[in-house]
Structure 1
C-alpha cells in the first residue's frame, strides 16, 4: 500500500509552474486512458516529464511501477534527467523507462526459457543477421543472387513489425519470396527462427515478438506485469508499429492507466512499419478515453503556423487540431518559383549569405529535402561559393556507397592501373570473386610487379583460380575493355549509363527490396545528370576529387542539409524547403500508388518541414528539371497551393509568365500559359489526380537516353494527361549578341542561349532568364 500524499505535496508543485491549461490538464489527469495530441512545438516533452514527476511525487506509484516508453535512448535520457532535476533522489531508479526494444530485452532476459533461449542470449546486429540468412537461403537450395538474403531480411523484419510468427504469414506474402521453394518465404523465416534458437540469439524484431508470444501463451507472466505497472506512458505514439501496439495494449491492465502522447499530423514513418491508425483508433481501443489537445506553439510565428494548419487540413485521416501562438509578429512563408534546379541552389545560397550578413548564424539555417539526390546541387553550389555546410543523417552526395561504386567503375575505365577502383568493384555486383580470389590477385600483382588490374589479366589465363572465378574475371576484364573503347564514341554521361547498366549495378539495386534501394537509384540518376554539366569525364572526376577534398573545418558555423524525415524533432530559425514539385514532393511513388494514404503521409511530411521553422520557412519550386540533358517542365506541388494565400509571400524569378502556383490554383496549365501567354487547361486537376509529366515520370522510373533503357519504364500517359514540356529548340535568330525587346524589361542583349532559354542583359533591369517566346528580335 502506497503512503497517502501529504498536504504539502499537493500545494502548487513546481512542475506545474509555467504550464498552460492544456498542459496542466495532461499532467494532472492521471487516471484512465488519456490521449495527448501534442502538436509541433507545443512543449510535449515538458508536459510528459511533469506528468511523470506528478505521479511520483504524489506517491501514486513507485518509480518501479511506471512503464515509460520512448522511441530513442536520447529521449529516455532526457526524460530521466528532467525528472531527476524536478524530484532529486525521489526519481532515482525508474527501471522501466526506455525504448521499446530496451524494455522488451529486459523482460525477455527474465523469461528467455519460455521461448527456448537462456538469459545470456545474443542480440544479432544486421551483419550477423544477413550472414545467418545467407546460410538459410543456401541450405534451401536457392540461388542467393536471385533470392538475396537482404531481401529476405527486409521481409522478415516487416512480418515481425506486424507481430506475425512464421505460421501466421499470409500465403500470398510468403510466396513473394522464393516462390518455387516449399513453403516460400515463411518456411525460410521458420528455419531462420530455429537457427536463432540454436545459436541462443535473437534479432531486434524478436525482442518484441518473443514477448508477445510469451504474453499469449503464459497468462501468468502477463498478469504479473499488468499488476506491476500502475501507469503506462508512451511518447511518439503515432510512430508505433503493429507489434509495439500489441505489446502496449497487452500490458495495460484493468486500471487502464495509459497515457499516449503523439501527433497524428506527424506520422511519417510508414515505410518503417509505423501505422497512423494506432493513434487514430485510440478512443475505440479505450472507450471513455480523454482526448487532450496541446495546440499552443512556442516555436513558430503566426504565419508559419497558419500555413501549416491550412496545409494539414486537407488530410482526412486525422483527429484534428489547430496550432496557435501568442506571438503577434512574423514574416509570411516565402514561396519562390525558380527556373531550374541550379537556380534553386543559387537562390538558397544567396539568401543564406544575405542572412549571414544580417547576423543570422549558419547554424540556425537548414535545407530540408524530400530525397537525398536533391543535396548534390546544393553541395556543389556551396563549395563553389565557400559556404560551410554539414550533411546530417547521411553522407555527402559523393561519399555515398553507390556513388563511390559508380565512380570507381568510371575511374577504372579512364585509368586501367587504378588498383583501388579495381578492388572496390571487381565483385560488385557479386561475380564470385571474393576474398580468396582477391588474395590470389594481390599475390600475382606482387609476384609480377604489375598493377592489380594488369596482373588480373595474367591470372585470368592461368589456373590459380577456380574455373568459375576465371570465367567471371575474364568477363569483367572484357567488359572494362569494351567500355574503354566505347569512351571514344560516347559522351561521358552516356558512357556512365552504359557501364552502370551493362555491369549489372543498376539491376542489383532494382532487385534490392530494402527501403533505401529507391533512394540509391535516384542518386545514380542524379550522378549521370550531373556529369552532363562537365565537358569530359576527366573534368568531372577532377571536380569530384576537389569536392571530396574540400572538408570544412571541424569548428565554425555550417548550414545544415538533411532529409525531411531526419529533421523531425528539430528546429531552426530559417528553413529552406526545395523541390516542391509534383513527382518530387509529393514523390512519384506516392502519386503512382493512387490512394489517399500515401499522399496524406507526404502532406504530413510537408507539415513537419514547415513547422521546423522558428522565424521563416522558405519554399522553392522549379519550373524545369534537367533529366539527363533534357529539360522537362514541372508542376508546382499541390502542397504549395494548400498553404493558404493570406500567409504566403509569393515570389518568382521567372519572366514573362504568370505565377505558376496561382495559375495552378485557378485550374490552368501554367506551363502552357507561359508559352502561349494565355489559355487555360486542366493542369491543377491533372496534378490533383496524380498525373505528372511523362519526362519526369520516365526519369523517376528509369534512365532513358540514346535509345537505351536504364531500368523499367511505364508507358507514357495519353497526350491529354501530360504536362507540356518546354521545347529545347531555339527560335531562329536568337544567338549570343542579338538585340531583343521584352514587353516588361525593354531592350536587351542576349548573353547566353540554352535551348529556348535566353539569358539577357537588360540595361534597365539587369540580367534576366526568359523564354524566347516572350521576346522579339530588334532589327
Structure 2
C-alpha cells in the first residue's frame, strides 16, 4: 500500500511518482524536499522498479545523508548502500578500483592541515624563500583546478599564468606524486580519480552506468563542474536522473558551485520534466513575502512563487545601525524587552564567529546569560587528529604525514633538526620517514638520547601493529593513548587537558 503518498501534497506526489526519464524538482525553502526525495526512493523500491543497490542518491553533508537513510529505512525497511555524500560514494568506487590510478585500496584521505603540510614541504624544496603564508593560496588554487577536473597536464594546456599560478602548477605536479607515494588522497582527488578511472576503463564506467537505474541528487544548485560531470557519466545509460534544488538558495559560488548546472538542466537532459514545490510549511506569510521580494530581483533564476497557509505572524523589521557596538546594544535591549520569553527561547544568528565577541561584551554588560553554539568539529580537534594519526601510522608505516604529526607528540626530544635529518634520509633513499627513522637509530647522525627516544617510538608502533587486528577498536585506542604517553601529557594540562581526554575517550 502506498500510504506514504497520502502525506504528500499534489506537487510532491507528482515528483515522487514520475520516475521515467530526467526530472528537475525545483524545491523552494521549507517545501518538504527531504520528504519528497525519500518518498521517491521508497516508491521506486516498493513498486519493484529497482532494488535498493540499484539506486544512487547523493547529497553534500553527512547529516543530510544520515537523515535520508533513516527516513528511507522507516518507509521501506531497507538500507540504501549507495546513498551518501559525493565524497563518500566516490571513495567507495575508488577503493574498488584504486590500482587503476596508482593507489592501494587502503589509501588514506587527508584533511586540510595535512594538505597544507605537504604543500609547505614541497615549497621549501623548490623555493625556500617563498612566503609561508602564501602556501594556503597555492592549496586553494590546486583545489580549484581539481573542482574543474583538471590534472596538471590539462592545467598547462589552458591556464594563463601569473607568477602565483606558475608556482602552483610546479607544486601541483609534485603534490600529486607525493600523495601517491604516501598512498593518500585529498578530498578533491576522490572525484578527480573517479573521472580518470571512468576515462581509462570504459568497462568500469559501463558497470556503474548499468548498475544505477536511478540517480538522485540533493542540493543540485551547489554542484561544481566535476560533480556535474561525474553525475552525467553515471546517469547516461538509463537517464533516470532526478535533481532536487533551488537556484534561489545557491550561495556557494565562492567554493566552485555553478548555479548554471540547475539553470541548464533541461538543455543537458532531453525531455526533462520540471516539478515545482512552492507550498512552504516553515515560515509565516510575512517572512515569505519579504524573502520573495528580495529574491525576485535576481536577474537569472527559474520562476517560482512560494506561498503558505501559515499565519501572517509579525512583520519583518529592517534596522540600520552605525556599527557593531550599536548593533550589539540594540540586540541586548530587544532581548530584555521580550520578557514573555525565556532567554533559552531566543537565538541570535551571526555570519561569522568573530562577530560574537562584541555581542558577548554587551550580553555581559546587560546581564544576559548566553551560550555560544559553534567551535571546532569533533574530528578536527587536535587530540582526535593526533590519535587518528597514531592509528594511521600503525596500519600504514609509510604514512609520512601521520609520522611527522605524532613523532614528537608527546615530546620525545625529536625536534626540527632531527626531523630534517629524517626527511633528508627519506628523500635520498626514496623510503618512508619510518624507515628513515630506523636508519638514524643505527647511525651516528643523532645523539644517544635521541636514538633511544626514536627507537622506543618505532618499537611501540611495531608492537601495536601486532595487536591491532586482535583487540576491539575501543580497547586498542585506549592502549595506544596510554602507552604513547598521550593521556599523561593531557593530564599535565589540568583543566583543559581533562576536556581533551574526554574527547579521546569519545
Name the residue aligned to 1:367: 348
Q: Give the alignment partner of residue 38 of structure 2, picking from 27, 49, 60.
A: 49
**1:358 corresponds to which of 340, 359, 368:** 340
Aligned pair partner of 1:20 in 5, 9, 14: 9
Residue 112 in structure 1 maps to residue 65 in structure 2: no
Decide whether aligned partners of structure 1 residues 368 and 125 sit closer, same or farther in structure 2, where only a CA change above 3 A counts.
same
Could you tell me how far 1:436 is from its partner in structure 2? 5.3
2:488 maps to which residue?
Answer: none
- Match of residue 168 from structure 2: 185
In 2, the alpha carbon distance for the partners of 1:156 and 1:58 equals 45
**Deviates further, 363-372 or 255-264:** 363-372
CA distance in 1, matches of 2:374, 2:356: 12
Q: 1:99 aligns with which of 57, 71, 85?
A: 85
Structure-2 residue corresponding to 1:167: 153
Counterpart of 1:265 in structure 2 is 248
Residue of structure 2 in register with 1:303 after alignment: 286
Match of 2:261 in 1: 278
- Any conservation in 1 of the 2:278–2:306 contact (CA below 8 Å)? yes
Contact 1:134 1:144 in 2 (8 A): no
Please report how far the alpha carbon of residue 207 of structure 1 lies from its aligned counterpart in structure 2 after TM superposition: 0.5
1:175, distance to aligned residue in structure 2 (A): 3.6
From the superposition, tell whether residues 124 and 339 of structure 1 become closer, same or farther in structure 2 (CA, over 3 Å): closer
CA distance in structure 2 between the aligned counterparts of 1:18 and 1:121, rounded to whole angstroms = 44
Does the aligned pair in 1 maintain the 2:147–2:225 contact within 8 Å?
yes
Change (3 A) 1:376 1:289: same
* Residue 650 (structure 1) aligns with: none
- In the alignment, is the contact (CA less than 8 A) between 2:109 and 2:184 conserved in 1? yes
Residue 172 of structure 1 deviates from its aligned partner by 7.7
> What is the match of residue 366 of structure 2?
385
Structure 1 residue 87 displacement after superposition? 1.8
- Find the aligned partners of 1:388 and 1:366 in 2 and give their Cα distance: 12
Contact 1:113 1:119 in 2 (8 A): yes
Unmatched tracts of structure 1, length 5 or more: 1-8, 396-433, 438-553, 555-779
Higher strand content, 1 or 2 = 1
Separation (CA, whole Å) in 2 of partners of 1:36 and 1:364: 34
Pair 1:312 & 2:295 matched: yes
What is the Cα deviation at residue 187 of structure 1? Answer: 2.7
Kept after mapping to 1: 8 A contact 2:138/2:164: no
- Structure 1 residues 56-87: Cα deviation after superposition (integer angstroms, max 9, x where no partner): 11111101000010111111111111111122
1:375 Cα deviation from its structure 2 partner:
2.8
Question: 1:132 Cα shift?
Answer: 1.6
- Closer, same or farther: CA 335–243 of 1 in aligned 2, 3 Å: same
Q: Secondary structure of 2:304's partner?
A: coil
Q: 1:500-524: per-residue Cα shift (whole Å, max 9, x none)? A: xxxxxxxxxxxxxxxxxxxxxxxxx
**Which of 229, 234, 239 is the aligned partner of 1:251?**
234
Deviation at 1:197, TM superposition (A): 1.5
Matched with 1:559 is none
Structure 2: gaps of 5 or more residues: 377-413, 418-498, 500-506
Distance between the aligned counterparts of 2:352 and 2:255, measured in 1? 16
CA drift of 1:38 comes to 0.8
Which of 138, 145, 160 is 1:152 aligned to?
A: 138
Flag the structure with larger Rg: 1
TM-score (norm 2): 0.71
The CA RMSD over aligned residues, in Å, is 2.3
Q: 1:392 to 1:254 in 2, by over 3 A?
A: same
Q: Any conservation in 1 of the 2:100–2:197 contact (CA below 8 Å)?
A: yes
Q: After superposition, what is the alpha-carbon deviation per residue over 1:279-302, rounded to whole angstroms, capped at 9, x for unaligned?
A: 111111112211111111111111
Instruction: Give the match for residue 33 of structure 1.
Output: 22
Seen in structure 2, the aligned counterparts of structure 1 residues 365 and 275 have a Cα distance that, compared at 3 Å, is: farther
Higher-RCO chain (CA-CA 8 Å, sequence separation at least 6): 2
Rounded Cα–Cα distance in structure 1 between residues aligned with 2:116 and 2:347:
36
Query: In structure 2, what is the equivalent of residue 221 of structure 1?
Result: 204
How many angstroms apart in 1 are the aligned matches of 2:159 and 2:369?
47
